[in-house]
Amino acid sequence: MQIPKMDPAGIRYLTIHCAATPEGRVHRADEITRWDVDRFGQPSYHHVIELSGIAVRTLDDDQRGAHTGGHNTGNIGICYVGGMDAAMKKPKDTRTGAQKQALLRLIGEYRARFPDIVVRGHNEWPGVTKACPSFSVRAMLKAEGIGEPAPGGLKAKT
């Protein structure tokens, strides 16, 4: 499978997603990736965070994902397993404590490499009407004291 490349120096965004799976149901990263390959012809996300908090890398940073229509170049995608209530009727923040910790760790790692990276939820992109990731990324960042980066260019630390 040929996955499109992108220049990691051009990474400007980190988008948080949910897999839209039922609360508490175990799905592994390889399963999520297989669904994406079947639907989009390639893995969608750079990382999938399983219920246990294990963050599985599914794309390298120099590979373009298929997670935010029209905005995948320069955009890292992180997906957590869950995002729907157990009955699959309503979006719900189903992240486990371990998933929350893993997500914050990944955000921290990308912020260390790309200090000006913009972190947002899938639902914060223009024209997106989905609830994904089923929680407010902006509120999470504020609560964690992460906030938005200072303006001034988006360059990777070497």
Where is 140: in which H helix or E strand?
helix 137-143
pLDDT single digits (tens) 71-110: 999 999 999 999 999 999 999 999 999 999 999 999 999 9
Q: What is the CATH number of the domain that holds 111?
A: 3.40.80.10
Asked if residue 103 is part of any domain, the answer here is yes
Q: Assess if residue 89 is contained within a domain.
A: yes
Q: Which residues pair with 148 in a beta bridge?
A: none
- Report the domain count for the chain: 1
Tokens representing 30 are: 């390889």
- Say if 151 falls within a structural domain: no
Residue pLDDT tens, the chain, 158 long: 789 999 999 999 999 999 999 999 999 999 999 999 999 999 999 999 999 999 999 999 999 999 999 999 999 999 999 999 999 999 999 999 999 999 999 999 999 999 999 999 999 999 999 999 999 999 999 999 887 665 443 333 33
Domain that holds residue 24: 8-143
The answer to the question of residue 51 being in a domain is yes
Q: Is residue 29 part of a domain?
A: yes
